[in-house]
Amino acid sequence: MVSLLFYLRKYKKDRVGRSTIYVRITIDGKRSEFSTGRKIHPSIWDAAYGKAVGFSQEIRLLNSYLSKIRTDLYRHAQIVRDRDQTITAVSLKESYLGLDKPSKMLLEIFQEHNDRVNELVGKDFAPGTAERYRTAKSHLAEYLQIELRKKDIPVVDVDHSFISGFEYYLKTKRKCSHNTAIKYVVNFKKIIRIAYANGWIKTDPFANWKARLKTVEREFLTDEELQRLMNHPFTNERLEHVRDCFVFCCFTGLAYADVKKLTHDDFVIGIDGDLWINTKRTKTKTKSNIPVLPTALLILEKYEHSPLLVDKKVLPVLTNQKMNAYLKEIADLSGINKHLTTHLARHTFATTVTLSNGVSIESVSKMLGHKSLRTTQHYAKILNRKVSEDMQLLKKKLSFQEKIKSKNA
């Protein structure tokens, strides 16, 4: 039952003694009220009937306006009922004032975001970034369908429990590793931040959620494994091409996306008179300046006149998916018991080729195109092994010196 009451707040008057007319909605004993935006002098207000007293045109217009508010409120009450929603004093007021606009839907916002990212691929985003957002949205849609039995939900319904549930779903049903699951949730977090920035939600449900990635030991090839891979004869030309591209990355530190787009225009003669790679990283847009080591130069010369090259490219690089598939076969044939990927080559450059051979971490960071030295420090753990080996040599040297002293004593 909807009850409406028009009344004056007599204790609040303007400079000419008029009070604002308010309307109070009461449903099931709960109230909600708002200003009509009209004022009147208390002396001509009939509190019992909730209207102005008199016959002037001004009075008639005011009463007509109040009557329309009453009619519209009852009409909006019926609209709320027709939606099969529970009608309350607050929901009726919001419906009348236009504050109950349909909430933006979660997957719709996600798709709008992904469409914009797709349009900016090659400008502001890498293809891999667009693919990760598509995958994150797909996982979120599955979570809604499987766990909540819904095709989509209003973004205002996302809370901390929903976020935790999505993370749990990724780790259990989708079998994602901890770090992979966290990265998908971070992709989802961006969508929520967009909703918050646009005022579609009033609070950020991610406020108390922290992304905690686990430290992962990065694999790399040892010097012995790298030599074994380089010296292994392959009868399959495609495997040989993939091996050569992988080794080139091992001696330049280039990521897959960067070696894929490498052309003759990316090579310059450095201040030392030798050949350098001068390119911008696809991922971070930072500059990488890398001297071309002899092994990398031999590979460039090998494919200098290859019919496989197009558009001034310097190496026959396949898709990342095909490269990784062939690298698995190459590891088996070479007797390397490690999961070879295109990115493992970058790790190998940072550790086996440079840091373990005395190249400073600052130089390695610059060649890798890292924005922060902290990123490069992950690779520096290999130095512990190098320090151990160096200290063993020192111990032997000191031990030998002690023996010489003993003989001479």
pLDDT of residue 381: 61
The stretch 107-118 carries a mean pLDDT of 96
Residue 113, pLDDT > 80, answer yes
Average pLDDT of the chain to the nearest whole number: 88
Q: Which of 224, 390, 397, 245 is nearest to 324 (CA)?
A: 245
pLDDT of residue 139: 97
pLDDT of residue 386: 58
Helices 160-172 and 127-147 pack at an angle, to 10 degrees, of 100
Distance CA 346, CA 365 (A): 12
pLDDT confidence band for 310 (50 / 70 / 90): confident
pLDDT of residue 371: 77
- How many Å is the Cα radius of gyration of the chain? 35
pLDDT confidence band for 376 (50 / 70 / 90): confident
Q: 135-158, pLDDT tens digit by residue?
A: 999 999 999 999 989 999 889 889
Instruction: Pick 223-384's CATH classification: 3.20.20.100, 1.20.1250.20, 3.30.70.20, 1.10.443.10.
Output: 1.10.443.10
pLDDT confidence band for 101 (50 / 70 / 90): low
pLDDT confidence band for 372 (50 / 70 / 90): confident
Question: Between residues 371 and 51, which one has the greater pLDDT?
Answer: 51
The stretch 9-18 carries a mean pLDDT of 87
Q: 281-291, pLDDT tens digit by residue?
A: 877 778 888 99
pLDDT of residue 387: 65
Contacts of residue 16, defined as CB under 8 A and 6 or more positions apart, other chains included, come to 41
Question: Between residues 193 and 95, which one has the greater pLDDT?
Answer: 193
Q: Which of 184, 191, 186 is nearest to 139 (CA)?
A: 184
Q: 340-364, pLDDT tens digit by residue?
A: 999 899 999 988 899 888 888 888 8
Per-residue DSSP letter, 268: E
Residue 382, pLDDT > 60, answer no
Helices (H), 198-290: 223-231, 237-250, 256-260
